[in-house]
Structure formats: structure tokens, C-alpha cells
Amino acid sequence: MTDEEIATKAPESDIERNSAEHAEQSVFPGDTRAQEGASMGEHCVIDRPTPAGEIPTGEMSKLGGVDVYIAKPGDYPHSPSKLLLLLTGGTGIKSTNNQLQADKYASEGFLVVMPDQFEGDPAPNSVDATSVEEHPSFIEQFKLRAAETAKSFLIDMWLARHTPEKVMPLLQKVIEGAEEEFADAIANGGGIYGIGYCFGAKYILVLAGEHPDTVSRGQTAPKDVEQGTVKHTPLIKAGAIAHGTDVTKEDIELVKVPILMACIENDSLFPEEVLQAGRMALEKNSIEHEIHVYSGVPHGFAVLGDYEDRKIKDAQKQTFGQMLGWIQSH
């Protein structure tokens, strides 16, 4: 597929950088570009301001013993629906923006299950994006950068607590619970659909792949996997992701179902070499796919939240339409 380039300008592009160390780092939380060598950035763990007047309409529940946010179409169960598994970034299921995003998919006819991948331990949230001045003083910039440095350390510690070995068993429990409670929606859609943002994007790719028995259960595969090791088929029938973090080329190479990826140009959290290797693998394996590459937008732009820049708003809206259209067509 031909990549789509959208010329937009991230809000932080007008802010003067003080040093090479902060060359790709904004003082405005939520507007940061991908940072060199970072495994996760501010964009994945801080909510943008919530769109004015919008209130979540879903409910908190449990599936397989795991906390989930569930958003249902207004006419469900009287009218057929399809099950959508939505995996969030580090802000988790209690984020108002994430709940509103789930509600948006529900308004399009999907029964949305958004699980707590972090067992009540969302990413550190020490900076409130809504409290940052539009044009902070040099001292305020220094304070914010110091806070971001400290927070980066906390995020690294947090990521070490939320590895595939911890996350995959949780997702397995949620899927098994959904198969019991929402069997009608799964049957109506011929399987489960998947949407993932930032942290959650990686796990949509894993669920879309064919993996050895150990990996499917959240365990590390041995270096020498014996021939004949059982491989589990994908747990979703189609998926779409936006600006993934910690994605490896192997994650994409193992994908066996239709997949759409919304990516960002020059994104160190999803490097070009990983994307290109993944693209080649999808083409080689004849996997139906679309890849859209956006330029100039901040990592995390596709997650629901308000931006002043109309171009970023338009890119966010367009990406939602692409992801929704993809799962609707499969």
C-alpha cells in the first residue's frame, strides 16, 4: 500500500531547544515527539485535555477476574454487535479520554471491551498537561524538564513491571471471559477485532500473530524451540494499531491476520527499520495490510484528546476513520 503523508505541525515545533539532550523533547506534556532511545515517552502516559462537554457512558466491570471498561451500542443486545478489544497506552482504563475513545467505537456498533493491562498500576502521571502554561518561562521550562527526567526513570521502572510475561496472561483471561459473556457478539463478528494505541499496539500485534505455545501464555520462548512445538493461531480476526511502542520486527513478522498500522515519520519509539522489516514480512507472507505514515504530528496524536492545532485534530480524526473503517470492512 502507498504510505499516506499528512503535513502537520506539532505544537512543540516552535519551542527552542536548549541542548542536544533535549533536542526532541517538548516542555508541553502530551505534545512530545518521539525521543531518541526512549522506550516510552510523555505522549503515552499523559492525557491531553478532554474534549469539552464529553462524558463517558460505559461501565466498569470484570472479565476473567480482570477489571475492564465496557462500552456497548445503545441498541445492544436487541440488535447484533461485534466484539472489539481495545488496548490503551499507559494511561489505562480509568483515563476519561480512553473511555471516550471506547465509547466512540461503541457508537459505531461495536461492543467494546477495554481491559486493565496494568492491574491497577497505570504509568506514573506526575505532570498534568492541563496545568502547563502555554508559554512557560525559562525557569518553568527547566523545572518541567527536570520533572520529565525524573519521570522517565519512573516510567522505565514501571515498564519493567509490565512485560509480556505479565500482560499476556491478563489478556488471555479477558478473552476467555468475553468468550463466555459475549459469545453472541463474537459469533456475530466471526471472531474478535482488536484496536491498540501506544503500549497496547504491541499486544494487538501479538494477538494477531501465530506464536509458540509458550509465548501465547506470556512466557519467554526457549532459545532452541523443538520442531513440532505447538503454535497457537491468532486470537483476533483483524486488527489496527496507532503509534506503537516497543514493537519488534518479530511482532509484525508473525502477524497472520489483516492489520492496519498508523505510524509517525521519524519515530524512534517505532523505528523506520522495524517498520520496513515488518512491511516486507507482511508482503512476503501475503498478509492483507495498510500502513499510513504521518509526518509532523506528535507521537500519541491518535489517542482522543484536544489539540489547539487544527491540523493535528484533523489527523486524529482521519486516523480514527481509517482504523474504524478497517475493522468494519473485515
Q: Is 323 helix (H, G, I), strand (E, B) or coil?
A: helix
Segment 257-281 shows an average pLDDT of 94
Average pLDDT over residues 93-99: 94
Q: Would you place residue 6 in the very low, low, confident or very high pLDDT band (cuts 50, 70, 90)? A: very low
CA distance 41 to 90: 10
Measured CA to CA, the distance from residue 328 to residue 82 in angstroms comes to 9
* Lookup: cell for 82: 461485534
More confident residue, 32 or 27: 32
**Is 50 exceeded by the pLDDT of residue 31?**
no
Confirm whether 2 is domain-assigned.
Answer: no
Burial 143-173 (b: 16+ CB within 10 A, else e): ebbeebeebbeebeebbeebebeebbebbbb
Higher-scoring residue by pLDDT: 309, 323: 323
* pLDDT per residue as tens digits for the range 112-164: 999 999 988 887 763 334 333 444 555 555 444 555 555 566 777 877 787 89
Cβ neighbours around 55 below 10 Å, total = 9
The answer to whether residues 295 and 235 touch, using CB atoms and an 8 Å cutoff, is: no
Taking alpha carbons only, the member of 130, 149, 327 closest to residue 242 is 327
The answer to whether residues 232 and 255 touch, using CB atoms and an 8 Å cutoff, is: no
Instruction: Find out whether 298 and 315 touch, Cβ atoms under 8 Å.
Output: no
**Mean per-residue pLDDT over the chain, rounded:** 79
Total domains in the chain come to 1
Q: Give the range among 45-59, 60-74, 87-101 with minimum mean pLDDT.
A: 45-59
pLDDT score of 58? 97
Q: Is residue 136 domain-resident?
A: yes
Report which of 73, 54, 5, 30 is spatially closest to residue 265, judged by C-alpha positions. Answer: 5
Residue 294 placed within a domain: yes
Pairing of strands 238-242, 193-197: parallel
- The tens digit of pLDDT for each residue in 224-257 reads 444 545 567 899 999 999 999 989 999 999 999 9
91 lies in some domain: yes
| Residue bearing the bigger pLDDT, 227 or 295 | 295
Q: Which residue has the higher pLDDT, 42 or 157?
A: 157
Given a contact cutoff of 8 angstroms between Cβ atoms, the answer to whether 123 and 91 are in contact is yes
C-alpha cell at position 246: 516497543
**Residue 116 counted as domain residue:** yes
Number of C-beta neighbours around residue 15 at 10 A: 17
CATH of the domain at 321: 3.40.50.1820
Distance CA 110, CA 201 (A): 19
Domain-embedded: residue 3: no
State the Cα–Cα distance between residues 103 and 97, nearest whole angstrom: 10
Domain-embedded: residue 5: no
The residue with cell 518561562 is 137
User: Could you list the residue range(s) of the whole structural domain that residue 258 is in?
Assistant: 11-328
- Secondary structure (3-state) at 196: strand
Residue 6 included in any domain? no
Q: 58: helix, coil or strand? A: coil
